[in-house]
Structure 1
C-alpha cells in the first residue's frame, strides 16, 4: 500500500488488530527485512503490525538531497495520524534506531514502548561523517552495487556468511532495491543526526535493547553502555548474529520481541 506523506508516496504494510507496533528498517534495506517477524507475530492475533519503506528505499518515492532522522520521525507520525494510531510501540534496527531516538525527542507522547536493535544513541564523529559522505559519493558515481559490495562484510556475522548464503543473497537483493538518491540522502542525513546520549535517562517508556553478539558496527559493549543509562531497559544479546540480528537469527530475535510485547499487554 502507499499513502501520501508530505511530499512523497510512502509504501507501507498494515496487518492485524491489537497493540500497534511500527517497524523501522535498517540502512540501506527496506521493510521486507521484517517479514519473518511480522508473519510470526500475526499468528498471535493481538498486534497491529506496520512496516514502511523510508524515502528512496523499497517502494517509496525518491526523496530530496538529504533525509534526516527528524524527517523520518515526521513521516512515521504522519503515517500514524493517517492510520488513526495515537500511540505505538516503535521497533527500529540500526538507522531505524536512529529514527526511533528522533521520534522520542520530538514525539515522546506517541510512543508506547521501544525496541532498539543494533543501534546507538551517539552522533557520528568527524571520521564517521566523512565516511557517510564518501558512501554518498560512491553510490552517486558507481551505483547501488558498489554500496552492497562495501556494506556486506560489515552487516553480517562471520557465522551467517559461512553458513547461510541465502541470507547474504536476501540482504543484497534488498540493497539492490534501493535508489542511489535514497541511499545518498539517508547517508548524509545520518551524518547530521544529533547525539541522543543526554536524553537516555529521560526515556521513560518500556525499552528493549537487542544486539547481535558479533555486531561489528554497534557491538554489545555499546549496547551495554547505553542500556545502563535508560531507566529499567532490558538488554538481550542474540548469539551468532551480526548487525542484522532480526534477519540473521529470526527465531531468537522474535522470542525477545514477543516476550517484551507480552509485558505491554
Structure 2
C-alpha cells in the first residue's frame, strides 16, 4: 500500500497527523511556516486523501505501523509527532509501539482516554447514519459542528473545503476508523511513563472532547506543555491559528535542543 505525504524543509523532523474526515491539508499552513527551521512531514492516514486504504480491517496499531513505515522510508530515525483528534490517537500508538523513533508528542484536541459509553453509542449512530445516508451527507453535518459557533461564519470557506475533501473519503474508511476509535484502549498508563514532553492543546468549548475530560488527564503527564483555547471548539488550528502555531513552534524550540 502507498501512503501519500508532503515534505517541506530540512532539519529535525516534525510529523503532523490529521484527524477523522480530514487530510494532510489541514496542516499546510503549519508545514509552510515551520519548514524554515525543520523537516515537516504531513501524511494522509490510510484511506484518507491520496493514501491507499489498509488491505485489512482497520485498527489504530495497524495505522501506526503504516505511518512508521512511511517515516522509515524517509530515513527518519527520530522525530516529534503531533496529531489532531484521531491523529492524536495514532500518535500515541506510534509512541507506544516505536518508542525509539518518538522524542516528544503533541495531542491537539485529542485524548489519552478511551471512549465513554456515551461516546461509543455516538460512534455506532454515526456508522448507521453513514450507511443510510452516505458519506457526503455525514460529512456535511459532521464538519461544521467541530467548530465553535462563533467561528463558523468567519471560517465558512475553510469548512467548505474540508467538507469537499471529506466527501471523497470511502465509506468503508469512515466506518472502519469509527470502529477503531470506539474500541481503542486508554493510554493513561503510557502517558504516566512517557519520558518525553507532551504538548496538550484543548478547546474550552470542544463538543467532541469536553474540557473536563481534557483537564482530568493532565495530572498523569510527566512533562506537559499546556495550551487551553477559550471560546474554541475542536478545530483550534483554524479557530485560533496564530495561538496554536505559536504554541507548537515554542514547544518544538524548547524540546528540540
TM over 0.5: yes
Give how far 1:65 is off: 5.9
Name the SS for the 1:114 alignment partner: strand
TM-score if structure 2 supplies the norm length? 0.93
Which residue number in structure 1 is paired with residue 4 of structure 2? 11
Matched, 1:50 2:41: yes
Q: Distance in 1 between matches of 2:230 and 2:118?
A: 30
Give the match for residue 34 of structure 2. 41
Greater RCO structure (CA 8 Å; 6+ sep): 1
Matched length: 256
Alignment of 1:92-241 (within 5 A): 92-241=83-232
* Partner-residue secondary structure (3-state), 1:189: helix
Shift of residue 153, structure 1, vs aligned partner:
4.3
CA RMSD of superposed structures (Å): 1.7
Change (3 A) 1:89 1:238: same
Q: TM-score, normalised by structure 1?
A: 0.90
1:145 and 1:165 map into 2 onto residues whose CA distance is 17
**Deviation per residue, 1:135-163 (Å, 9 max, x gap):** 22332332211211331343111111133
For the 8 Å contact 2:144–2:159, the answer to whether it is kept is no
Structure 1 stretch displaced more, 196-205 or 47-56: 196-205
What SS class does the counterpart of residue 228 from structure 1 fall into?
A: helix
The aligned residue for residue 76 of structure 1 is: 67
Answer with 94-103 or 215-224: which moved more: 215-224
Q: Give the whole-Å Cα distance in 2 for the aligned partners of 1:17 and 1:93.
A: 23
SS, match of residue 218 in structure 1: coil
Write out aligned runs for 1:249-264 (5 A): 249-263=240-254, 264=256
Structure 1 unaligned segments of length 5 or more: list them. Answer: 1-7
- DSSP-derived class of the 2:217 partner: helix
Q: How far apart, in 1, do the equivalents of 2:118 and 2:47 lie?
A: 25
2: distance between equivalents of 1:178 and 1:32? 14
- Give the whole-Å Cα distance in 2 for the aligned partners of 1:243 and 1:262: 25
Secondary structure of 1:49's partner? strand
CA separation in 1, counterparts of 2:181 and 2:234?
Answer: 17
1:82-123 deviations in whole A, cap 9, x for unaligned? 111111100101001111111122112211111110011111
Displaced runs of 4+ in structure 1, greater than 6 A?
none
Structure 1 CA distance for aligned equivalents of residues 14 and 97 of structure 2: 18
The answer to which of 71-80 and 219-228 deviates more is: 219-228
**Is residue 160–residue 240 contact of structure 1 (8 Å, CA) maintained in 2?**
no
